[in-house]
Each structure stands twice: as C-alpha cells, then as structure tokens.
Structure 1
Amino acid sequence: MCQHQPQCPPADAPDHEAAFLVAFHPEQGWGLLCNGVVIFDDTGELMPDGRSIPAHHDPYGQAA
C-alpha cells in the first residue's frame, strides 16, 4: 500500500505512470513504480496482474 501523500495512482488508473519510482535499474532497462507497475525504457509496461502493455512510442517525439 502506498505511503506517499498524496497517494500514488493505482495501477489501473489512466495516470498510473505518475506513481513514484521505488526501484530503478537503468543498466537493465526497467524500473518499478510504487503501484507495482514495471516500466521499461522502450515505454512498455508489465502490470501487477501480469498483463503486458506494448511499447507506446510518441510518433511526434523525435524528428528524423
């Protein structure tokens, strides 16, 4: 359970990526959010219930 104030959004909330980062392993390309979501440096996610969310790259993020 989140001890932050205000509390982090739950994993099923639309803004779940706003949760605090509690573990970060950039050498392995992932981090763990307070709500149990694992985020990957390619923008993919692994939800606490085991569902995977594919990478969602911003098509306008970088110009070629």
Structure 2
Amino acid sequence: MCQHQPPCPTAHSADRESARLVAHHPEQGWSLLCNGVLLFEDTGELLPDGQIIAPHRPLATGRVVTAA
C-alpha cells in the first residue's frame, strides 16, 4: 500500500502510527494512514484486517487530584 521510500511501517508494526497521513478529518475525529490504519481521535485504531486496537492514551503523570 505505501509507496514512500523508505516505506512506512506496516499496519502490524509496533510503530504503525508513524506512517504518513493520507487523509485527515479532524471534524469527524479520524485520520487514514498510508499503511491502511484508521487512527481515531481517542487514540483507538482500526487495522486494515478489521482488528481493533483499543484507545491507549498515556496516563497523566505528576498530577495530584484531591477532593474539594
């Protein structure tokens, strides 16, 4: 699918999110990468084979939440 040189990571590579954007629709909350991965605003992903990758936002660090 990817025609870039060097080629972008495949959809099943650990670094698949570093592939180049083909389409970006922030108003709808998704982007299509050149490796066929649909990347959603909530950090979830849909791979070309239909596999779902659950959202994986990094946890906040150094924040202390206290009750008011």
What does residue 4 of structure 2 align with?
4
Task: Please list every run of at least 4 consecutive aligned residues from structure 1 whose deviation after the TM superposition is greater than 4 angstroms.
Answer: 61-64
- Residue 43 of structure 2 corresponds to residue 43 of structure 1: yes
Change (3 A) 1:51 1:62: farther
Q: Structure 2 unaligned segments of length 5 or more: list them.
A: none
- Residue 23 of structure 2 corresponds to residue 19 of structure 1: no
Q: What is the alpha-carbon distance in structure 1 between the residues aligned to residue 36 and residue 23 of structure 2?
A: 10
Classify the secondary structure of the residue corresponding to 2:39: strand
Change (3 A) 1:24 1:36: same
Aligned-residue Cα RMSD (Å) equals 1.6
Change (3 A) 1:62 1:30: farther
**Normalised by the size of structure 1, how large is the TM-score?**
0.90
Q: What is the aligned length?
A: 64
Q: Give, in angstroms, the shift of residue 50 of structure 1.
A: 0.4
> What percentage of aligned pairs have identical amino acids?
59
**Normalised by the size of structure 2, how large is the TM-score?**
0.85
Q: Structure 1 unaligned segments of length 5 or more: list them.
A: none
Classify the secondary structure of the residue corresponding to 1:32: strand
CA deviations over 1:4-56 (Å, ceiling 9, x no partner): 11101100111111100000000000000000000001000001000111100
Mark the structure with the bigger radius of gyration.
2
Q: What is the alpha-carbon distance in structure 2 between the residues aligned to residue 26 and residue 52 of structure 1?
A: 20
